[in-house]
Chain A
Amino acid sequence: MKNLISLILILLLLYSCNKSEKSSNSLTPNQKQIISVYNGVGKNYLEGSDSIEATIQNIENISKTESDRYKAMVTICRGNMSAKSSEYEIATKKFRKAIQLLGNSGRDTLVARSYNGIASCYKSKGDYPNAISNYQNALRIFNRINFVNGIATAYAGLGQLYLQKNDITLAKKHLEMTIMLLKNKKYSHSYLIASHTLANIYGMSGDMKSALKIDEEGLRITDSIKSDHFKATFLDNKANCFMYSNQLDSAQYYFDKCLEMDIKTGIDKQIADSYSNLGQLALFKKEFATAEKQALKSLEILKRIDHKPYMPKAYDVLEQLYTQQGDYKKVIEIQKKSFQVYKEMITEKKEASIAEFNILYETQEKEKQILESKTETNKKHNQLIIATVTFLGLLLITFLIYRQQKLKNKQQEQEFELKTAISQIENQNKLQEQRLNISRDLHDNIGSQLTFIISSVDNVKYAFEIDNKKLDDKLTNISSFAKETIVELRDTIWAMNSNEITFEDLESRIHNFIEKAKEAKDEIQFSFETDDNLQATKLTSIEGMNVYRTIQEAVNNSIKYADASTISVAVKRIDNQIQIKIVDNGIGFDQAVIPKGNGLKNMQKRIEDIGGSFNLESSNLGTLITILLNN
C-alpha cells in the first residue's frame, strides 16, 4: 500500500514537472520576445529611449498576430514610453486600451500595472482624485494576488502624490510602507522612488542629516545599477540640502550635474524641476537675471507638457525674485497665475472626491480584512478539526496496532507453551513406550520359560516312573503353579494389549475362567448379566484388569470355600454409577469371626485403586459382594 502511494506521488510529481516544463517551452519565439521586452521596459524604460523605441516598434509589429494578452503587454510598454515623454493623455489612453484588451480581470498584474500607469499620469497632471482612484484599483488587485512589488509601487506613487499635495504625514506613511515592503529589494525602482521622495521630505522638514544619509545610499545603489535617471533625483535632493544649508557652491555643482543627467535622460518634468532649482539657487546668490531666466525656462517646459505639480515651484522663484526687486505688480500677476494652477489642482470638490475615495478604499480594505479574518478563523477551525481527527485517528490506529502486537506476542507465547508441552509429552511417551517394549520382551521371555518348565516337569513325570509320592506331588505342584502363573501372565498381557475393556470383553473372559473352574466342579450354575446399555461401556485397561481380578477372586472364593451351587454376576447402571453384584448361595461366613484374608483385602484394594467402593455381605444363605464404580 505504501509503495503504491509513493509511486502515485512520484508519477504526479513527474507529470507536474513535465507539465510546467512544457508550459514554459510552449511559448513561441515572438511571445518570448514580447515578454522579454515588457520585462525590460518595466525595468529600464527611462534609459536609452531611442533603442527602446525601436524595440517597441518591433514588438508592436509582431504582436499583431498574437493574442490580446500580448497585445496588451505591448500597449503597456507604449503607455510607459508616452508617460516618459510626458504625453500623459496618450499614455492614459494606452493604459485604458490595455485594460480593455485584458478584460479588466480582478486578478491580473497587467491590469493592475495599467491602473498604476493611469494613476501616475493623473498624478503628473495634478488630477489627484483620479490618480488616487486608479492607485486604489491597482492596490486592490495587487493585494488580492499578494504581489508585494506591485503593492510597493502603488504606495510609492501615492507617497509622491501626497507630497505634491503637501500632505507630509500621509506621504511619509506611504513611502515608509514602500521602503518596508522592499527592504530586501533595494535595487528596485519603487524602492529608489520612495527613497528619494522620503529624503526630499526630510530635507523639507530641515532634517538634512537623514536626508543626506538616504541620498548617499541612493547614489550608491544608482551607481551600481547605472541608472542616470534615479541618480539625478538623488543628486537633486543632495543639492537642495546643500542649498538650504547655505553651501551654495556645492549646491551649484550638484544642480548642474543633475541638469546634465536630466537632459541626457530626456525627461522634461525633471529638466524643468532642475531649472526651477537652479533659479532658486541663483536667487540665493542674488543673481536675479539668472534666476528669472531659469524659472521662466522651467515654466515654459512645464506648460508645454502640462505638468502642473511642478509649476508652483517655478512661480515661487519668480514671486520671490520680483518681491526682492520690488516689482509688486509682477508679484501679484505671478501670484494670480500660481493660484490659478493651484486651484486647478486642488479644489474643494476634488478634495471631497479624494476623501470619498479614501473612505471607500479604507472601507473596502476593512471589509477585506474582516473577510480575511473570518476565512482565517474558519481555516484555523478546520485545521483544528483536521488535527484533532488526525490525532484521534492516529491514537486509535496506534492503540489497535499495539493491541494486535500484544495479542500476537501473547499468542506466540501460548503457542510456544503448547508446542513445548507437546514435545514434553512426546518425549515422555517415547520413554514409556521404551519401558513397555522392555517389559513386553521380559514377559514373553518369562512366559516361554514357564512353558518350558511345565513341559520339562510333565516330561520328567511321564518318562520316569516316580514312586515317591512326595516328589510326585512337588512336581505336580510346580507344573500347576507354573500354569497358574502363565494364566495370570496372559490375563495381564491381554489387559495391557487392550486399550479399553468393555463389559462384553469381561464377560467372555470370565466365562473362560468359569469353564475351567467347572472342570473341577461342574454342578455350579453360573450366570453373567449385563444391562444392554452397559455392553459398550468402556473401562481402561487398569480398571478392566482390577474389576476382572476382583470378580475372578470372588468367583474363585465362592467355588473354593462357599460350596455354592449358583454364582451370578450382574452389572447394572444406577444413576451415574456402575454396580457390579457377585452373589452366591453358599454357606457364607461370619465376618466378625473370620478375619479378612489376603484375597478379600486385595479385592477391596483393587476397587479402591480405581476410585470405586467395595462392600461384602455374607450370611449362611450366601455371600453378596457389591462393587460401585464411578462412570
Chain B
Amino acid sequence: MIILLIAIVIAFVISIASLYFGYSKQNRTFKNRTAFLENCIAVLRKQQEKQLNQLKLSDVLSEQLKESNHHLNKIIYDVNFQLFLVMFNKKK
C-alpha cells in the first residue's frame, strides 16, 4: 500500500513537474515569438512613420507647386499679354 502510495506520489510529482516545465517552456517560447513580432511591428511602424513624413512633405510640396503653378500661369499670361501688345503695335 505504501509502495503504491509512493508510486502514485512520484507519478504525480513527475506529471506536475513536467506540466510546470511545459508551462514555463511555452511561456518562454511565446515571449520570444512575441518579442520577434513586436520587433517586426516596431520596424514596420518606423517605416510607416517615415513614409508618413515623406507623404506629408510631398503634400506640402504639392501645395507649394499648386501655388507656384498659379503664380507661373499669371506671369506667363502677362508675358503673352505683353507679346500681344508688341505684335499689335507692330501691325499697327
Q: Which residues of A contact B (CB under 8 A)?
A: 379, 382-383, 385-386, 389-390, 393, 396-397, 400-401, 403-404, 407-408, 411, 414-415, 418-419, 421-422, 425-426, 428-429, 432-433, 435-436, 439, 442-443, 446, 453, 468, 470-471, 474-475, 477-478, 481-482, 485, 488-489, 492, 495-496, 499, 540-542, 545
Interface set, chain B 37-62, CB cutoff 8 A to A: 37-38, 40-41, 44-45, 47-58, 60-62
Chain A positions within 8 Å of B71 at CB level: 481
CA distance A385 to B4 in the complex (A): 11
Given contacts A386-B1, A422-B40, A407 and B23 within 8 Å (CB-CB): yes
Q: Which residues of B contact A (CB under 8 A)?
A: 1-2, 4-5, 8-9, 11-12, 15-16, 19-20, 22-23, 26-27, 30, 33-34, 37-38, 40-41, 44-45, 47-58, 60-62, 64-65, 68, 71-72, 75-76, 78-79, 82-83, 86
Which of A389, A404, A482 makes the CB contact (< 8 A) with B5? A389
* A–B pairs, 10, beta carbons within 8 Å: A390-B12, A418-B41, A425-B44, A432-B51, A436-B51, A443-B58, A468-B82, A468-B86, A482-B72, A540-B50
Contact A425 B41 (CB under 8 A): yes
Chain A positions within 8 Å of B57 at CB level: 492, 495-496, 541-542, 545
Which of A389, A418, A421 makes the CB contact (< 8 A) with B12? A389
Chain B positions within 8 Å of A435 at CB level: 55, 58
* Cβ-closest chain A residue relative to B62: A439
Which of B23, B50, B60 makes the CB contact (< 8 A) with A499? B50
CA distance A390 to B26 in the complex (A): 26
Chain B positions within 8 Å of A428 at CB level: 48
Within the complex, what minimum Cβ distance (angstroms) separates A389 from chain B?
A: 6
Within the complex, what minimum Cβ distance (angstroms) separates B28 from chain A?
A: 11
Within the complex, what minimum Cβ distance (angstroms) separates A454 from chain B?
A: 11
Chain A positions within 8 Å of B56 at CB level: 542
Contact A429 B78 (CB under 8 A): no
Contact B49 A540 (CB under 8 A): yes
CA distance A411 to B15 in the complex (A): 23
Chain A positions within 8 Å of B83 at CB level: 471
* Cβ-closest chain B residue relative to A453: B72
Contact A488 B64 (CB under 8 A): yes
Q: Nearest 9 A-B pairs (CB), nearest first?
A: A393-B12, A432-B51, A439-B58, A418-B37, A425-B44, A400-B19, A492-B61, A382-B1, A471-B82
Chain B positions within 8 Å of A386 at CB level: 1, 4-5, 8
Contact B76 A541 (CB under 8 A): no
CA distance A389 to B1 in the complex (A): 13
Given contacts A415-B37, A468-B82, A474-B75, A436 and B8 within 8 Å (CB-CB): no
